[in-house]
Amino acid sequence: MPNAYISGTGFYVPPRVVTNDDLRTQYGIDTTHEWIVQRTGIEERRFADEGVGPADLGALAAEKAIANAGIDKTDLDMIIFATLSPEHCFPGSGVYMQRKLGLCEGTNAKFVPALDVRNQCSGFLYALATASSMVKAGALKHVLVVGAEVHSAALDLSTRGRNIASLFGDGAGAVVVSATEEDRGVRHWKLGADGRFADVLAQRVWDTRKRPFIPVDAAGIGHVEPEMMWAQMEGKLVFKNAVERMMTVLMEACIANNITGADIDLFCFHQANLRINQYIQNALGIPDEKIVHNIQRYGNTTAATIPILLAEAVESGKLKRGMKVACCAFGSGFTWGAAVIDW
């Protein structure tokens, strides 16, 4: 039975930088740089231009990952695309990115399956677990796993929405999961969910239990109330559960792999809030040199945070062949996950 390893990484973030001060001066949000940094650690984020969707960002990250894996696009056997901000309700972003990668064109067209994963901040780890399982089963040889988000189009960029609007940014990260006979790769993954808290962090733009699923006026034009249109979050409850679930699932993944935290060379935590990650780091006694952060520069890019972290760590030389990596995430649902990888 083959092992499943990450053969290539890549990431892309839009060029437009939006600082905390920009939120105040350009959007009129009643906030300060110090207020945002104190609560989240975020100093700036990236916003995509109008007309750019997650498939656009994902394709640029995917191109890099495919090149770094040393394979051709037509070597791919599947695409798994994780996002909470797809271009449309349906179809999913995966097929749009497939087309942008040119897989549907020319004499070498290859109509690989495209699967979308909607597990928000845990989406990349759910997708990685799916990809590695398929590769280990011998069904596929190369799977492209992408996490990409364009949050800026759906943020309430006003004082009313500042608690959430200040958190999120746009970006994409990608990895290629490949089969190998070498003793390396994704060693163990652990996933979880608790639907009791499904409404604690949610964006309920429509409700298909209602008729019509979006309220309409006499002319048939839909109207969405602010509490439905914009994401809503009970911050303190999310913080508490994030800390508890991330620490627990991380330890469960290590125990299943018969290792301890001391055996991990690099920790890549989901970048939702720097204060959450620092709390976990201190609680588990993780030294600074063993953990990477980029939320200060990108904000929370949900499904893209971990693959961006991995790609940046490879580019900087922080992540090298032979190292043991632990990835961990928590998000809406509530959902969570962890993976231990021998790089």
Reported as a single tens digit per residue, the pLDDT across 218-243 is 999 999 998 899 999 999 999 999 99
Same-domain status, 100 and 133:
yes
30-87 pLDDT tens trace: 999 999 999 999 999 999 999 999 999 999 999 999 999 999 999 999 999 999 999 9
Residue 214: exposure state from Cβ atoms within 10 A (0-12, 13-18, ≥19): middle
The domain tally of the chain equals 2
- Percent of the chain's residues with pLDDT above 70: 100
Same-domain status, 248 and 259:
yes
Q: Which domain holds residue 92?
A: 3-183
Q: Helix, strand or coil for residue 181? A: coil
Q: Give me the catalytic one of 270, 273, 327, 328.
A: 270
Reported as a pLDDT band with limits 50, 70 and 90, residue 198 is very high
Q: What is the CATH number of the domain that holds 77?
A: 3.40.47.10
Same-domain status, 168 and 190:
no
User: For residue 110, is it within any domain?
Assistant: yes
Same-domain status, 167 and 22:
yes
Residue after which a domain boundary falls, among 151, 183, 215: 183
Q: Are 32 and 210 in contact (CB under 8 A)?
A: no
258-309 pLDDT tens trace: 999 999 999 999 999 999 999 999 999 999 999 999 999 999 999 999 999 9
Q: How many residues does the structure list for the chain?
A: 343
Q: Give me the catalytic one of 3, 121, 273, 328.
A: 121
Q: What is the pLDDT of residue 1?
A: 87
Q: Give me the catalytic one of 151, 268, 300, 327.
A: 300
User: For residue 63, is it within any domain?
Assistant: yes
pLDDT > 90? residue 187? yes
Residue 243 — φ and ψ, nearest 5°? -60, -50
pTM reported for the whole predicted model:
0.97
Same-domain status, 75 and 102:
yes
User: For residue 206, is it within any domain?
Assistant: no
Residue listed under structure tokens 């990650």: 277
State mean pLDDT over 131-160.
97
- Percent of the chain's residues with pLDDT above 90: 98
User: For residue 55, is it within any domain?
Assistant: yes
The answer to whether 282 is a known catalytic residue is no
Q: What amino acid is encoded at 322 in this protein? A: G
Cα separation of 211 and 220, whole Å? 13
Structure tokens at 256: 């299943």
Same-domain status, 95 and 7:
yes
Q: Please provide the average confidence, as pLDDT, over all residues in the chain.
A: 96
Same-domain status, 128 and 240:
no
The answer to whether 254 is a known catalytic residue is no
Q: What is the pLDDT of residue 211?
A: 94
The answer to whether 270 is a known catalytic residue is yes
CA 250 to chain centre: 17
